Structure 1
Amino acid sequence: MFHNSTNRRRSSRFPLCAAALMLALVRPAVAAPETSASPEPPASEEAWFVVTIRGQQCGYVHEMMRRVGDEVHSESDTQISIRRGEATVKMRMERAYRESLDGRPLAFRAVQTLGAMPQTIEGEIRGDRIFLTTTQQPGASFRSDFAFDPGCRFSWGQLLESRRHGLDAGVEYDVKTYDPSIKTDGPIEMRIRIHGRERVDVLGKPQTLHRLTSSMKLPAGGMTIDSDAWVDDEYTPMITNVDAGIMKMTMYRTTKEEALKRGAPPEMFLETMITSNRDLPRDVKRVKYKLSVKPEAKGKLPDMPDTDMQTFERIDDRSAYITVRRTDWDAMRSTPAKADATPEKLAGYLKASSVCDSDNRQIRRLAIRACKSDDAPTTKADKLRKSITKYITNKGLDVGFATATEVVETRAGDCTEHGVLLAAVARAAGLPARGVGGLVGVPSSFRRAASGPMEYGFHMWTQVYIHDKWVDIDAAMRQTECDPTHIAI
């Protein structure tokens, strides 16, 4: 989100990316006529939706579904633009699915353009496994395969599942789907609840629709994304609200002409800052925060993780204490490194992935230049952090969410790019590593007021595993010893 060596503003795009993905996952692409419990797929249908943030149009979704022989093919194209300061960030997510007539997944293709280089992931289901090919740049492909849950359903299969359960108020059921952008090695689970008919306004036109809610928890202890959808009797979504914490997006069914209209994209930097009741000194060692949901907001305060730096203590459903303290690096440096092997549970944090490709040659060379193989883990972590802080020279705002492969090429980005590249070089150097999303104290020069209480903005940094614990380091903020304004979410 921020970088201390520049006067530019930064903002994490995690909630926006997650909300945009949720738009594509919470409903079937288009609806088929309700002729039976297993409706016939449409010969060819399409739908257009306008996407808004805080009432401002920020993009559109275009969806299509058609029958091709004994298969159903569905496609979706989601395009979103936001402003961060003077920069405009554009993101595009394209999905194409192939399914059998009875809803069994066969294959898919996902293209994401969140930075300068599009990333393409193609998947084919063979038996009980899914085989993925990820391409970040021409001639550079990353192949992997995982066990595939036979209960997963794509667009057509989700529609069949919805038909089976019906739209009676009080019905609840679980749906499994799959999207490698969120999780490569397993299903994404959503809980669906039917609430009954409601009178709602759809772009100025009152309609009586069925309301349903969906809850999806992101993997690895991540946030829960909730959505509300209002659908007609044939399951056509007319309104979809997605709540990703700071990011609330609404999608309305409309015409192609209305969906493609362009206006000024919403500003997403200042509007997402959180103000505390006091300022903090730069050298503060420990801070105890009280976090509360605003009185006008719905829902409860989500649980937050306990880490080496922070301890979460719930007060009630809408408030909690979180205590954050600096890691004692002097104590870690004086602790001898253990000679035993890395625990099996950490193996995944050493592997290359499509986003964190630690096998990339440039990334491996960067790791070799930054540290020695026999350096102590604490020394490695410090050297790697400093090398990434220095390596990313174009600290701009116009990158959506670049992979480590893209960042090592462009040397551009803000906190997310610093975080993902640092995780990749750490893995290449033999340190288990992962990204962390949360809040950080905004330097005074970036705040909305020249003086006053501390403000917090959404941010990403890195954790490395040293001496049986995850330790926070932050390349964007130039901190190996992270200050206690870092709150992991």
Structure 2
Amino acid sequence: MRRRLAAVAVLLCLTATSALADQRWMTVLLDGRKVGSLQIDRDQAGDKVTTTQVLNFRLTRVHTPILLETRIKTVESPLGAPLAFYASTNMSSQQNLVEGQVRDDGAFQVANTVGGQSKVNLLIWPTGASLAEGQRLSMLAHGFKPGTTYQIRNFDAVKQQVANIQVVVIGDEIVDMPDNRQETLHHLRQSLVGASGDRSVDVWIDNEAYIRRGISPLLGFRLEMAACSEACAKAPDQDVDLLRAAMIQSPRPMVMGLRAAPVRYTVTVRGNFPEPFVETDEQHVSSIGDGVYIIDVGFGHMASDEAAPSPEDTAPNAWVQSDSPKIRAFAQQITGDANSDLQRMRRLRSYLSDYISRKGLDVGYASALETMDSRNGDCTEHAVLLTALARSLGIPTRVVTGIVYAERMGGATRVFIPHAWTQAFINGRWISFDSAQRRFDSTHIALGIGNGDPWRFFAAMSTLGHITINRAIAGSNLMDLPMPSGMTANIGGGKGSD
């Protein structure tokens, strides 16, 4: 799965401000191993302050290098008023672009290009939200007295969303920096308001509120950025396989007979993650305390009170382009004379299992249109395209993020790996369809639900690196959960899941 997306999100949080000098550099580390660099340019000309950040990030995925460049430019007034923002990312073979310009009435005209398809919309600027220079000025205005607490509203140009950040001033510290230097800096702790669990980011800033160092947890790694010379930032990167780090050892071989029947898991989650798993019509979650959970997968209709579809489950978005004539025509071609939504979903799932013929380990996160054209990708491309095709036919669908069992992956055996699949609302319940695995079974454990946006995907993956699966017991061995009638219809492609 796309662990690099999560890394980019954390890095974007850490790089909220730039330095006053024309150009500065930072090195990017995971547990002390260099994986990238950040170049920051700041230019103040007249009544405009332009900040440009270029992040280069390199990881490996089953020995396949993954290269990522994210470029963000913000234009503001000297007092931090937003004037324009630009962002480009290469999560896949195509560049994704965002361009926003303020209009005379104060609103922003925003153009988004994803997978080669462009859309223009109007953005009413969120009250109190700020870009790079405005965030720096806010931190500077609140000062650096230990114990000071305040909130700032950071606008993310890539996601075009506002993050409400709680800031606590820890105090002044002497900090070891690259190039054998030490600096006296102000230590701040930033956390997302309302977020569950401990997902804080520690930053160290200088007297002008420019970030000099930042640390955040990532999948059990320590993600760090530190200011250094250009030569230091451009030093050769080292291999870090985040997919391997995200794997979870299975407590037993999950043979096909076991996977096709209901399974009860006992799982331990380390750290502060109040709701690490989601309740669905196919998965029931019970907390028994101290970070231990019982997860039942496949025991019939598990959650009769799960929410019905929301407007988001039928709407197109930048990644799930279900309103594209190409997507709609493709879906109609595949489903043909199918006379029910269940039959349509089965035909879509079956067709995509063969249609996406190249497993692209170097693909970051491609949109539905791009995957339709390239026929390249892995589970997220399968899930996003299947979701788009289904929505184009009016079937409510959503993307599930979780883990699934693999007998072998990247040199490891009997592990659970990051995964994504699709759920469709059919006959009053949510049913899973997995075109990447060709079938949904009881080794699919759901961590989160989203609309196909990559940022929803990585948010649900925050617990990876903190999970241990202690036991996996076949439902037939449980005395307290009788086998429901029609069980085989709910697992493995019968009446229900596919």
Please list every run of 5 or more consecutive structure 1 residues that lacks an aligned counterpart in the other structure: 1-11, 33-43, 333-341
CA deviation after TM superposition for structure 1 residue 110, in Å: 0.9
Which residue of structure 1 aligns with residue 280 of structure 2? 307
Within the alignment, does 1:178 sit opposite 2:155 as a pair?
A: yes
Shift in CA distance, 275/71, structure 1 to aligned 2, threshold 3 Å: same
Counterpart-to-counterpart distance in 1, 2:208 and 2:397: 46
Answer yes or no: is the 8 Å Cα contact 1:107–1:124 preserved in 2: yes
Instruction: State the shift of 1:252 in Å.
Output: 1.2
Which amino acid is 2:246 matched to? T
Q: CA deviation at 1:309?
A: 2.0
Tell me the CA shift for residue 463 of structure 1: 2.2
Q: How far off its partner does 1:227 sit?
A: 1.6
The answer to whether structure 1 residue 446 and structure 2 residue 420 are counterparts is no
Deviation at 1:403, TM superposition (A): 1.6
- The residue matched to 1:426 in structure 2 has which SS? helix
**Counterpart residue number, 1:431:** 395
Alignment partner of 1:211 is 2:187:
yes
Distance (Å, rounded) in 2 between the aligned partners of 1:327 and 1:372: 30
* Partner Cα distance (2:109, 2:432) in 1: 34
1:244 and 1:483, CA in 2 relative to 1: closer, same or farther beyond 3 A? same
Separation in structure 2 between the aligned mates of residue 276 and residue 55 of structure 1, nearest angstrom: 28
The 10-residue stretch of structure 1 (409-418 or 259-268) with the greater mean CA deviation from structure 2: 259-268
SS at match of 1:400: coil
Are the structure 2 counterparts of residues 432 and 189 from structure 1 closer, same or farther at C-alpha, using a change threshold of 3 Å? farther
RMSD: 2.9
Q: 1:84 to 1:137 in 2, by over 3 A?
A: closer
Deviations 1:59-82 (A, max 9, x none): 111112222321221111111111
Where structure 2 has 5 or more consecutive residues not aligned to the other structure, the ranges are 449-498
In the TM superposition, 1:184-333 aligns within 5 A as 184=160, 186-203=161-178, 204-216=180-192, 225-246=199-220, 248-284=222-258, 285-294=261-270, 299-300=272-273, 302-316=275-289, 318-325=291-298
Offset, 1:177: 2.2
Equivalent residue, structure 1, for 2:18: 30
| Contact 1:327–1:482 (8 Å) recurs in 2 | no
Q: Of residues 131, 153, 159 in structure 2, which corresponds to 1:154?
A: 131
Letter in 1 for 2:225: M
Matches of 1:52 and 1:286, distance apart in 2: 42
TM-score, normalization by structure 1 = 0.82
Cα displacement (A) at 1:279: 2.8
CA contact (8 A) 2:249 2:416 kept: yes
3-state SS of 1:269 partner: helix
The aligned residue for residue 485 of structure 2 is none
CA–CA distance in 2 between the matches of 1:194 and 1:70?
31
Whether contact under 8 Å (1:226, 1:244) holds in the other structure is no
- Aligned-partner Cα distance in 2 for 1:373–1:348: 27
One-letter amino acid matched to 2:285: F
Q: How many residues align?
A: 441
Q: Which residue of 1 aligns with 2:110?
A: 132
Q: 1:112 aligns with which of 84, 89, 107?
A: 89
Alpha-carbon deviation of 1:280? 2.8
Q: Is the 8 A contact 2:177 2:228 kept in 1?
A: no
Give the deviation of 1:412 after TM superposition. 0.5
SS of residue in 2 equivalent to 1:212: strand
TM score, norm. by length of structure 2: 0.80
Contact 2:131 2:155 in 1 (8 A): yes
313-322 vs 264-273, greater mean Cα deviation: 313-322
Separation (CA, whole Å) in 2 of partners of 1:66 and 1:436: 43
- Matched residue SS, 1:476: coil
Note the C-alpha offset of 1:464: 2.1
Whole-Å separation in 1 of the counterparts to 2:11 and 2:418: 21
How far does the alpha carbon of each residue in 1:266-314 deviate from its partner, in whole angstroms, 9 at most, with x for none?
A: 12232221113223332433333233245xxx54565332222223323
Contact 1:225 1:245 in 2 (8 A): no
The one-letter code sitting in structure 2 at the alignment partner of 1:18 is A
| Amino acid of the structure 2 residue aligned with 1:156 | E
Q: Provide the secondary structure at the position in 1 that maps to 2:267.
A: strand
Deviation at 1:243, TM superposition (A): 2.2
